[in-house]
Amino acid sequence: QKEVEQNSGPLSVPEGAIASLNCTYSDRGSQSFFWYRQYSGKSPELIMFIYSNGDKEDGRFTAQLNKASQYVSLLIRDSQPSDSATYLCAVIGGFKTIFGAGTRLFVKA
Amino acid sequence: DAGVTQSPTHLIKTRGQQVTLRCSPKSGHDTVSWYQQALGQGPQFIFQYYEEEERQRGNFPDRFSGHQFPNYSSELNVNALLLGDSALYLCASSFAWRGNTGELFFGEGSRLTVL
């Protein structure tokens, strides 16, 4: 079982819609969860982190964490074509950060 | 404020050759992690350097080695290159004193092609 699993997509949504990206993790002891965005040909950049169960909102982005279900999600409201990228879910494992394979998101204008 | 810089940006090698990739961390950062990202995959952890020592290593063979210098910059060396080593190699820097917050700052990467 992979440590972090994501649906590779692609996920295609129309402009203005809500994009929902999902991630599951295997280590029940994981405490910290992250979403990185990676544009094509670029390096990943951190966009959200969440430590506690529930929702965390930052602008158009909402991270959701359910530790009992070992599930993390990222919602992007009012999706824009500029949101088209690969979204990487990550968890901390000791000194390293463990990434999922990423979900490709396409926002159609 | 200089971000994470990596060199070279692109390089082509043949099987069996050796390669050295270089990374300068973001100003004020003291920890460097190296990741390998194959096409369509997420970054895979190779190893992390702190205080000039390898602090944690991922599931990579001994052909992959590294070094950290007193100025916190780092090198990744790969010996006996295989076709499967073709990937984007990412360097990420962070503060050690904050523990592993998961907040990594990535360089733009070195794209290695092995022929």
Are B87 and B37 contacting, i.e. CB atoms less than 8 angstroms apart? yes
Note whether B37 and B86 are within 8 A (CB).
Answer: no
The pLDDT of residue B17 is 98
Q: Check whether B110 has a pLDDT greater than 70.
A: yes
Handedness of CA B24, B27, B30, B32 (dihedral sign): negative
Q: What is the mean pLDDT of chain A?
A: 94
Residues in chain B with CB shorter than 8 Å from the CB of A44 are 43, 90, 104, 106
Put simply, whether B75 touches A (Cβ < 8 Å) is: no
Show residues of chain B in contact with A99, CB under 8 Å: 35, 42-44
Q: What confidence score (pLDDT) does residue A93 get?
A: 83
Place of tokens 């990423």: A102
Facing residue for B106 by CB, picked from A34, A43, A98:
A43
Q: pLDDT tens digits, residue range B26-58?
A: 998 999 999 999 999 999 999 999 999 999 999
Tell me what the mean pLDDT of segment B62-84 comes to. 97
Mean pLDDT within B70-92 = 97
Over residues A55-109, the pLDDT tens digits come to 999 999 999 999 999 999 999 999 999 999 999 999 988 888 999 999 999 999 9
| Closest approach of A15 to chain B, Cα-based (Å) | 24
CB-based contact, B59 to chain A, within 8 Å: no
Distance from CA of A42 to the nearest CA of B (A): 6
Tell me the count of A-B CB pairs closer than 8 A.
61
The end-to-end CA distance of chain B, in Å, is: 37
- Report helix, strand or coil for B44: strand
CA nearest B108 in A: which residue?
Answer: A43
Q: Find the CB nearest B58 among A8, A91, A96.
A: A96
